[in-house]
Amino acid sequence: MKPASFVYHAPATAAETVATLTELGEEGRVLAGGQSLVPLMNFRLAQPAHLVDINRVEELDYVRADDGSLAIGARARQAALERSSEARSLAPLLVEAAKWVAHPPIRHRGTVCGSIAHADPAAELPAAMLAQGGEVVIAGGAGERRVPFASLFLGPFSTALQPGELLKEARAERWPDDTGHAFVEVARRHGDFAVAGAAALVHMDGPVIARVALALFGVAATPVRVGEAERLLQGSSGSEDEIREAAEVAVRDLTPSSDIHGSGRYRIQVARSCIRRALREALTSARRHNG
């Protein structure tokens, strides 16, 4: 299973990368970690005419605090996110999610931005970002633009990224330090893509939920924020009954597809279970922060 030929570009700077991509337009694809792209190329399911390898672009390799957000550059490895003390303090949900991405050897090469751009509906990081909130910085011929995560994911393996553009940076919004977080996934084996999963953030105001974010993955064409469930929980005490009701509301309108790993119905059952567990864990951790 050998890939088809392509023209190889290895720019050294972000500017060079963007210029090359702009010029190539639809013919060019970014090679970051390659952990998703190269298998597709080996199957010849993807046959890009040009690959723009960003692995030499040192300036895009960072995970750092920036203006209140956690900024992750296009070349930052998933393993770097996992190890980052800044990430642990600014957005621990993302660190938790990173641990569920495949296996460490994949995370040594796979990039955070690459996972976001690849937009697999069963992937962990897009959903975690969706829950966390924030935006991506997209660089193209006309300059840079910002797209919130909430409008980034358009369909399976499809984002607002246009041909010739680079997803240059992911900016995760910071939640208050006493936010509780949880990341729950059900997969067939350790390290597999999710059958279904939930990422939750809960911030309490005393005994009451002041703010909550709940994102699901593996259950729709994209990761989804379940706004109705969030609204139900907001202002509530987060009791077991309220959690169960929120989970029901969250899955009510889902129509996950069926595949060999589970029917749509099965995915809904699993999603329900993941949501309950994620909310319970996030609430427990939020309450712990609050003493």
Partner 1 sequence: MNELHPVAVTVNGTPYERHVEARRLLVDFLREDLGLVGTHIGCEHGVCGTCTVLMDGESIRSCITFAVQANGHELMTVEGLAADGRMHPLQEAFWEQQGLQCGYCTPGMLLRAKELLAENPDPTREEVREAVASNLCRCTGYQFILDAVLEAAKVIRHEAAASVEPARVAQEV
Partner 2 sequence: MATEVTEARTRKWVGKSIRRVEDPRFLLGRGGYVDDLTLPGMLHAAVLRSPHAHAIIKSVDVTAARQAPGVAAVVTGAEAAELCNPMPDFGPAPDKHVWRCLAADRVRYVGEGMAVVVADSRYSAEDARDLIEVDYEPLPAVVDPEEAVESGSPLVHEALGSNVAYERTFTFGDVDRDFAEAEVVVRDRLRWHRSGAQPLETVGALASYDAGTGMLDIHCNSLTFTHFLFMLAGTLKIPSNKLNIQPHSAGGSFGSKFWAVKVAAVAGMLAKNLGRPVKLVEDRVDNMSNSDHHGSDRIYDIELAAMRDGTLRTFRLKVVDDYGAYIQFGTGTHGNSLAQVVGPYRIGSVQYQVQAVLTNKCQQGAYRGFGSEVTNWMLERMVDLVAGELGMDRVDIRRRNFIAPDQFPYFIPTGNMYDSGNYEPVLDRALEMIDWGYWQGEKERLRREEGRYVGIGITSAQERSVFSATEFWFWFDEPSAKVTSSPESVTLSVDATGSVTATLYSNAFWGNSAETMVAQLVAEELDVEPTSVSVVYSGSNRSLPATGPGGSRFTVMVAGAVNGASARIKEKARRVAGHLLEADVADLEWADGGFRVKGTPERSKGLAEIAAWCHLFKHSLPDDIESGLEADKVYDHPYTTMPSDDRSNLGVFYPFVGHACHIPVVEVDVDTGQVTFLRYVAVHDAGTMVNPRSLDGQIIGGTAQGLGTTLLEEYVYDKEGQLLTSSYMDYLIPTAMEVPDLEIDHKVTPSPFTVHGIKGAGEGGRMMAPAAVCSAIDDALSEFGVRCRELPVTPARLLTLIDEGRARQSPHL
Contact residues for partner 1, defined by CB under 8 A: 1-8, 10, 31, 34-35, 38-39, 41-43, 51, 53, 55, 79, 102-106, 108-109, 190-191
| Out of 15, 43, 58, 154, the residue judged to bind partner 2 by CB under 8 A | 43
Which residues, including other chains, have CB under 8 Å from residue 142's CB and lie 6 or more apart? none
In the bound state with partner 2, the residue whose beta carbon lies nearer, of 38 and 147, is 38
User: Considering the complex, what minimum distance in angstroms separates the CB of residue 202 from partner 2?
Assistant: 21
In the bound state with partner 2, the residue whose beta carbon lies nearer, of 74 and 282, is 282
DSSP state of 13: S
d(CA 32, CA 80): 14
d(CA 128, CA 218): 12
Q: Are 37 and 45 in contact (CB under 8 A)?
A: no
In the bound state with partner 2, the residue whose beta carbon lies nearer, of 4 and 142, is 4
For residue 214, which of 268, 274, 148, 255 has the smallest C-alpha distance?
274
One symbol per residue from 149 to 168: x for binding partner 2 (CB under 8 A), - otherwise; what is it?
A: --------------------
Q: Are 216 and 196 in contact (CB under 8 A)?
A: yes
User: Considering the complex, what minimum distance in angstroms separates the CB of residue 261 from partner 2?
Assistant: 7
CA distances from 216 to 130, 135, 200, 246 (A): 9, 18, 9, 13
User: Considering the complex, what minimum distance in angstroms separates the CB of residue 60 from partner 1?
Assistant: 16
In the bound state with partner 1, the residue whose beta carbon lies nearer, of 102 and 215, is 102
d(CA 181, CA 32): 29
Rule CB under 8 A: is residue 186 a binding residue for partner 2?
Answer: yes
The binder of 257, among partner 1, partner 2, none, by C-beta within 5 to 8 A per type, is none
Return the percent helix, strand and coil in the chain, to nearest 5. 40, 30, 35
The token pair that represents 95 in the structure block: 């660190």
The binder of 231, among partner 1, partner 2, none, by C-beta within 5 to 8 A per type, is none
| Out of 191, 207, 227, 235, the residue judged to bind partner 2 by CB under 8 A | 191
In the bound state with partner 2, the residue whose beta carbon lies nearer, of 172 and 186, is 186
DSSP state of 261: T
**Residue 236 φ/ψ, nearest 5 degrees:** -90, 170
Rule CB under 8 A: is residue 252 a binding residue for partner 2?
Answer: no
User: Considering the complex, what minimum distance in angstroms separates the CB of residue 161 from partner 2?
Assistant: 24
- Footprint of partner 2 (CB under 8 A): 1-2, 4-5, 43-44, 186, 188-193, 195, 259-263, 266, 269-270, 272-273
